Amino acid sequence: MKMKANQAMVECLKAEGVSVVFGYPGAAICPLYDALLDSDIKHILVRHEANGGHAANGYARITHKPAVAIATSGPGATNLITAIATAYADSVPMVCITGQVIREQIGSDAFQEADITGAAEPFVKHSFLVKNSQDIPKVFKEAFYIAGSGRPGPVLIDVPMDVQLEEIDFEYPQTVDIRGYKPTIKGNFNQIRRVSSALEEAQRPVICVGGGVESAGANGLIIKLAEKIGCPIVSTMMGMSIVPCQHELFFGMLGMHGVKAANFAIHHADTVMLVGARVGDRSVKTPVKVENNATVIHIDIDPAEIGKNMTADIPLVGDAKNVLEQLIQEVKPLKHNEWIEILKLKQQKDKPTEIQEGTVNPRRFIKELSEVLPDDVIITADVGQNQIWTATGYNFKQKSRLLTSGGMGTMGYSVPCAIGAKFAAPDKTVCAICGDGSFQMQFMELATAIQFNAPIKIIVMTNNRLGMVRELQTNGYGDRQIGVSLDGSPDFIKLAQAYGIEAFRVQGEQDYAKAFELLAKPNQMCLIECMVAEYTPTIYAE
């Protein structure tokens, strides 16, 4: 079938089941946009290209399929790099499409020219610069396959403007065969038996879950395995919400901002099984101590991650869902009651804490919030103190989800991510939690939510400081504060109202009821500002 390449690009998207794309147009990508107009694919106009990538990130994490972000050449494409890096660090499947100057101008410093494939190379699974329009169907098929298979991640397709306008013979490939790219899905049987034997011999085992469990859709399986062998579970930040917080075998988030029981478990276990977790420095600051004390089992679909940060005694490459199914069949029922009771004694309890007048205890507010929002709520959190308060304070239920930027730690993520998640799950409540610093990197996306009817909930924790940096300066630099005051910030209540959004300020526990009433309203957008004392620590009232 003959058609223009820009039309073929749209047909490729339709063939991959794409119904929503997030983007920001410009001259070099106008041919694709012209073809989109005649399609039934919904285009969501974000107010900044990076936020288009973050919105696609949220959409992909809910659908478990590659989502699409589009930008023009030059600054449009370079603005997208932060979102690409964010997706790469957290293994989120995305296909990013950028326009490029015409082929004969490449390398000439033409207007709005940037070597985006070169610039983004450290942050993509693969990138394509399409110089032959006939390659478009094959390129798109491979891009979606690479993004969504193996360890998921972002793939970039850069298409010169003149390529988009050429006529091609269109036929979309039915299969993909990429030489040298054959992800291992099932676990090696001999390694499965080794893991099973190690678990059966363990006296103090612990399972550490990371974001890879969620990516594989293996949440229920990890719980089933833990229950079968009576094994406690701890989580990295990316793994929070995989196991319900109230589950008797779950002992919380580990790491520098984690809880006592989880950190005690990982450092006193004799067998540690890592599943879909990278063991980054925020999760285990001194991995050598764990290596010396325990048999380390590491399960991951990416062989490059195994042993990268912590030596693995028993490496096992494979998709978490398949591997866990194999293990459940192989391992014997076990009990570790004494070990579990020890960990229960290490669990922290909230202590009465004096609260400055006109402010709230943020973790207590978030904890109570979790009893108000639906059990299947999607929570998106930014980076900073608000992220830690959310991860350690929110009582995640069986069907709730936490979406946050764990690896890259990107500020300005939560609101566009929430918008993307809302399009992926329009019937669910989606709530973004951010600080007053991060909110000011993204509040332009309130317009996107209004324009395209994505009624998300937004909670802004306001302490008039870049709270996490302020805390670092206070604790590590003799309280010598610089560059952390947010004086000059707007009135967020008036700002929300300027967009036609109902807003309310919480200045104490007496205001909780009104705030929760607004947050509980289905399919109605609102903004809640929580006033937090400037010197509130990250781990609060523990």
- Domain check: are 376 and 506 in the same one? yes
Q: How confident is the model at residue 285 (pLDDT cuts 50, 70, 90)?
A: low
- Domain check: are 200 and 298 in the same one? yes
The 10s digit of each residue's pLDDT in 80-109 is 999 999 999 999 999 999 999 999 999 999
- Domain check: are 243 and 107 in the same one? no
The count of structural domains within the chain is 3
539 occurs within a structural domain: no
CATH number at residue 40: 3.40.50.970
Distance between CA atoms of residues 536 and 361, nearest Å: 8
- Domain check: are 24 and 147 in the same one? yes
- Domain check: are 94 and 160 in the same one? yes
pLDDT value of position 102: 97
541 occurs within a structural domain: no
Q: How confident is the model at residue 541 (pLDDT cuts 50, 70, 90)?
A: very low
- Domain check: are 371 and 440 in the same one? yes
- Domain check: are 94 and 230 in the same one? no
**Per DSSP, what are the bridge partners of residue 296?**
272
Q: Which residues of 89-114 are buried (b: 16+ CB within 10 A; e: fewer)?
A: bbbbbbbbbbbbbeeeeeeeebebbb
480 occurs within a structural domain: yes
Three-class SS state of 206: strand
Domain that holds residue 216: 189-345
The 10s digit of each residue's pLDDT in 192-246 is 999 999 999 999 999 999 999 999 999 999 999 999 999 999 999 999 999 999 9
CATH number at residue 256: 3.40.50.1220
pLDDT value of position 350: 65
Residue 495 has pLDDT above 80, yes or no: yes
Of 345, 370, 385, which residue is a domain's last?
345
101 occurs within a structural domain: yes
Distance between CA atoms of residues 379 and 400, nearest Å: 8
Of 345, 370, 392, which residue is a domain's last?
345
pLDDT value of position 539: 66
Tokens encoding 514? 């009104």
The 10s digit of each residue's pLDDT in 327-345 is 999 999 999 999 999 999 9
Residue 530 has pLDDT above 90, yes or no: yes
Residue 117 has pLDDT above 70, yes or no: yes
Counting beta carbons within 10 angstroms of the beta carbon of residue 453, is it exposed (0 to 12), middle (13 to 18) or buried (19 or more)? exposed
Contact 254, 235 (CB under 8 A): yes
pLDDT value of position 540: 41
Of 288, 315, 345, which residue is a domain's last?
345
Distance between CA atoms of residues 200 and 327, nearest Å: 12
Averaged pLDDT for residues 141-150 = 97
440 occurs within a structural domain: yes
- Domain check: are 86 and 193 in the same one? no
pLDDT value of position 135: 98
- Domain check: are 147 and 203 in the same one? no
Averaged pLDDT for residues 157-177 = 97
538 occurs within a structural domain: no
Residue type, 197: S
Of 282, 331, 320, nearest in space to 298 by CA = 320
Three-class SS state of 413: coil
- Domain check: are 451 and 368 in the same one? yes
- Domain check: are 236 and 366 in the same one? no
What is the CB-side half-sphere exposure of residue 135 using CA atoms within 13 A? Answer: 13
Tokens encoding 227? 């229950």
- Domain check: are 37 and 102 in the same one? yes
Tokens encoding 128? 């394509």
Averaged pLDDT for residues 269-284 = 86
Of 131, 269, 250, nearest in space to 198 by CA = 269
Contact 83, 69 (CB under 8 A): yes
357 occurs within a structural domain: no
pLDDT value of position 290: 82
Averaged pLDDT for residues 431-449 = 98
The 10s digit of each residue's pLDDT in 12-23 is 999 999 999 999
Residue 511 has pLDDT above 70, yes or no: yes
The per-residue pLDDT of the chain, averaged, comes to 95
183 occurs within a structural domain: no
Three-class SS state of 490: coil
Residue 542 has pLDDT above 80, yes or no: no
